[in-house]
Amino acid sequence: MLVPASNYWNVIHGTRPGEATQDEEGKQIMRTLGRNMAWLMKLVEHGRKTIAPPEKEGKIYMNFIR
């Protein structure tokens, strides 16, 4: 699983309608996250044409009650 990153926690803060639009740091984080997510999606799409997916392995289940 690929998880795109930004430059800090991926959150924006506000408790009342419209307050989140005043969170300048949060808005920057969301812009950075969006750009990184778009780049990662393009990278994955390009890689599909040139790199084979990994071979799947059967799941091994752990029984915690013995």
pLDDT at residue 26 above 80?
A: yes
In tens, the pLDDT along 29-39 reads: 999 999 999 99
Does the reported pTM lie above 0.85? no
Range(s) of the domain holding residue 19 = 1-66
Residue 60 tokens read as 């091994």
The candidate with the shortest Cα–Cα distance to 4, out of 31, 27, 23, 22, is 31
Q: Which residues contact 10 (CB under 8 A, 6 or more apart)?
A: 29, 30, 33
pLDDT at 66 over 70: no
Domain count, the chain: 1
User: What does the pLDDT read at residue 62?
Assistant: 87
- Residue 45 DSSP one-character state: H
Position 53 scores a pLDDT of 84
Q: What is the pLDDT of residues 55-64, one digit of tens each?
A: 999 999 888 8
